[in-house]
Structure 1
């Protein structure tokens, strides 16, 4: 339980690398990067794992990265959305329960869950299981009208929004997520892309 969000709160933010449509067809992998930071200014470390494009291993790899890292003083996991590497859906409740850490999902656009469900039903035999994970996630909370939304598991919404504010330095996205995006894109394409 986080009683007070300190300026130097230790968080880890995860984002995935790019992938091609053909990599979806072949079940290839993309990089998953976690950036560990103190607040919004000091990078403490970087974690990496490989996840399957459109697979079912994102939750396992994030749990593994957090539990087996040397970073024992993490307070919050930040995610850039609930799906990685296409439709590799993260089980937020399981991630929280198995790491013992609150999870805050940050997104800039409200996802169209109906469109996601239709795509899943059209392309995946296990669509029901993936849709169940989407529906099990907590509701989106709008932090900035039509610009920034969060979902929080294991932490009160007010504290989750404080974590987002405390870890954001420039723009709208927390610094651990912004840097994870840049590193992941550089690993996959040879050059970072702007968040």
Structure 2
């Protein structure tokens, strides 16, 4: 494992998406950011709306960077692009890099929405199985006073909390995610 919480040169790959109601694909942006908040790299990718390609496409984005200094992958959620579910455990195993997935609101979960959204029983069952595999979220109180909800692989709850706090300047959105969202929206507008 390449995760050293106190390392000054700690680098996070933050990944976020953007799509419109008429999109067939979502634009993903990955921002490599150092602990001192300097942007140190950028990568783009796509995933299929309602598809099953998010995990593999994020792995492709990570590999395309050809870097061995990324210490953590930070995701803006695990259920993206209209139920294209990211497998955080698979990302961590395939990269040997810890993964933190962030959500900003508490909820009862998405099982009801998945049941409602998919008309095919086999597709609905597959999506429900993928969703249930994600497990429960932990609440993290940020030093800004805001609460985030996280799932994590390859690190402890305490380490996940520290790294999210390192990268959150104000409010509740960590900087690698905030910048990745902005870049994904800008890229999407230009398509």
Count of residues in correspondence between the two structures: 183
Q: What displacement does 1:174 show?
A: 1.3
Q: Distance in 2 between matches of 1:156 and 1:108?
A: 20
Q: Distance in 2 between matches of 1:33 and 1:135?
A: 26
Mapping of residues 1-195 of structure 1, within 5 Å: 1=1, 2-20=3-21, 22-23=22-23, 28-113=24-109, 116-124=110-118, 125=120, 126-144=123-141, 147-189=147-189
Aligned to 1:193: none
Q: Distance in 2 between matches of 1:72 and 1:149?
A: 28
Q: Distance in 2 between matches of 1:111 and 1:7?
A: 35
Q: Distance in 2 between matches of 1:7 and 1:134?
A: 35
Which ranges in structure 2 are unaligned for 5 or more consecutive residues?
none
Q: Distance in 2 between matches of 1:64 and 1:174?
A: 23
C-alpha contact (below 8 Å) 1:31/1:188 kept by paired residues = yes
Aligned Cα RMSD in Å?
Answer: 1.7
Q: Distance in 2 between matches of 1:130 and 1:80?
A: 19
Q: What TM-score does the superposition give when structure 1 sets the normalisation length?
A: 0.86
- Flag the 1:5–1:131 CA change in 2: closer, same or farther, 3 A: farther
Q: What TM-score does the superposition give when structure 2 sets the normalisation length?
A: 0.88
Q: Which runs of 4+ in 1 moved over 3 A?
A: none
Which ranges in structure 1 are unaligned for 5 or more consecutive residues?
191-195
